[in-house]
Structure 1
Amino acid sequence: MKYLGILERYKKYSRQEIESDVDIRGALERYLYLAIQATIDLAEAIVAYKGLRKPATMSESFCILSEEGVVAADLTRELAKMVGFRNVIACDCQDLDYGIVLDVLHNRLKDIKNFLNEVSNAMGIR
């Protein structure tokens, strides 16, 4: 996913640099949003492709894929948290916790990578 590569470039910035530079902050938030949304979109597309029950929420797509053995349950929990984070950055909150933003940037993007790997393996794509 191209957004993961772009986000790697933002790991060099400190919390202070991100919080004090409106351009860096805005770009980082936007790319995090896009990476998470693309992951949600992929989950929803797989659910539809496989003819599974329709999810009622964005995070439910991951639960459905877990029930079907496509995605591990522990990864599903982490991806559901990502959906919550996506919702927070989507509302353009002025009091966004940049400790959480940096945690997602430095520690949680691996969940998206793991999701892509699990989906690829389950669908026989390489």
Structure 2
Amino acid sequence: MSDDEGLSAERATRIADAIEAIEQNVSGLERYRDLSRSEYRSDESTERREAVERKFEKLIAATVDIAETIIAADGASVPGRRKDAITGLERRGVIDEALARRLREAVGFRDVLAHTYGPVINDDIVYDALQESLGRYVAFAEAIDAYLDDALDD
């Protein structure tokens, strides 16, 4: 493999670091799952809501970074749209169709969080994501671990 193609040690380390970021952010978000919807939405919880939103942003950014790193390792050009990077992993068989769909939804969610400010963010949507969507990132991390195992065995 040349330095421009393949899963170099540097790329493998980048992916491993992003997996660690995913695991840390999922763990951090799990701490807030016991909150009731009204506790999450209360005026006293502004900083907590901002922390949850930021953890989701970082979690999804790490997911996309992994996708882009794998695509680059294949020698392909990295798509300009983050959702297309997820589709690239699906096409390579790294993740299945259902997980790819859920991750593309997450990318859209991240875009809303990153580009919407103040009261425009729907706290109910974020709360629902907190309650229902963390499993997609665990499944993604497991799929990437399997990919790394296969890639590094070659």
Whether TM exceeds 0.5 here: the answer is yes
Q: Partners of 1:23 and 1:102 in 2: how far apart? A: 14
For 1:30-41, what aligned pairs fall within 5 Å after superposition? 30-41=54-65
**Is contact 2:40-2:127 (8 Å) kept?**
no
**How many residue pairs align between the two structures?**
126
Whether 2:101 is the aligned partner of 1:77: answer yes
| Equivalent in the alignment of 1:89 | 113
For 1:1-126, what aligned pairs fall within 5 Å after superposition? 1-20=23-42, 21-93=45-117, 94-124=119-149
Which consecutive segments of 4 or more residues in structure 1 shift more than 4 A?
A: none
Unaligned runs of 5+ in 2: 1-22
Q: Partners of 2:51 and 2:81 in 1: how far apart? A: 26
SS at match of 2:33: helix
Q: CA deviation at 1:56?
A: 2.3
Q: CA deviation at 1:95?
A: 2.2
Q: Partners of 1:104 and 1:60 in 2: how far apart? A: 22
Q: Which has the higher contact order (CA 8 A, sep 6+)?
A: 2
What RMSD in Å do the two structures reach over aligned CA positions?
A: 1.7
**Residues 73/53 of structure 1: CA separation in 2 closer, same or farther (3 Å cut):** farther
Identity over aligned pairs, percent: 32
1:5-42: CA deviation from partner (whole Å, max 9, x where unpaired): 11111112122222221111111111111111111111
Unaligned runs of 5+ in 1: none
